[in-house]
Amino acid sequence: MLDISRAALIVVDLQNDFCPGGSLAVPHGDQIIPVVQQYLALFETHQRPVILTRDFHPKDHISFKSQGGPWPAHCVQETIGCELHPSLRVPPQAHHVVKGFNPAVDAYSGFEGVVSDTPGHLTTMTLHQLLQAHEVAEVYLCGLATDYCVRATALDALSLGYGAGIIADGVKGVNVEPTDSERALREMASQGAVLLESHLRIGP
């Protein structure tokens, strides 16, 4: 049965640049928004923590093709592409985590970021510290992209001892290779993540 009494919801990188029209668009990335919205409402109703992560790159970030990296420029700070998708209704109590701001280091996992609840102000608090402060034992993950930042965040959560549920219809992958997302989901499951087959049907 649904038990989110010690859970937090983590919405990974649901930013304009990862949605159709963006510079590193995940195919159909915006289709997950209604599912994400339902989970946001659920966690808000139960007064459980909600965290939204954002890729937050300087314009000369090491992961960009201009610097010899694999990706087109994306999620550059202070651009529209870096903003959360405008149709997301972000709860006022939600926490925000930014990552990938060090120009020389790529950071796929939210656990490599810092809390930034005031726009433009980065704290030194990590996601792990934030979750500990709220006595969170398990995280429910949705967002973009299954094969990169969702994967990395889930694997870090599991390594840190959190339970992890992946909202299967609340994630979408880049699929540089067509099976990348499937592989990532299998890998997360093999490390202990629970794949939640259909939205709002949590548990066995």
- In the complex, the residues that contact ligand VGL under the rule CB under 6 A are 13, 18, 55, 63, 71, 108, 144-145, 148-149
Catalytic choice (82, 149, 156, 172): 149
Q: Which does 16 bind (CB under 5 to 8 A by kind): Zn ion, ligand VGL, none?
A: none
Residues 6+ apart with CB under 8 A from 115: 95, 96, 97, 123, 125, 126, 127, 129, 130
114-115 β-sheet, strand order:
114-115, 95-99, 50-55, 7-12, 138-144, 163-172, 194-196
Query: Is residue 13 at the binding interface for Zn ion, with CB under 5 A as the rule?
Result: no
Catalytic choice (13, 17, 30, 147): 13
| Catalytic annotation present for 75 | no
Q: For residues 167 and 150, what is the distance between their CA atoms, to the nearest angstrom?
A: 10
Helix (H) or strand (E) holding 175: none
Per-residue string for binding with Zn ion, 52-81, x by CB under 5 A?
---x--------------------------
Q: Which is nearer to ligand VGL, 35 or 98 (CB)?
A: 98
Q: For residues 10 and 97, what is the distance between their CA atoms, to the nearest angstrom?
A: 10
| Catalytic annotation present for 149 | yes
CB of 48 to Zn ion, least distance (A): 28
Q: Which residue numbers are catalytic?
A: 13, 99, 149
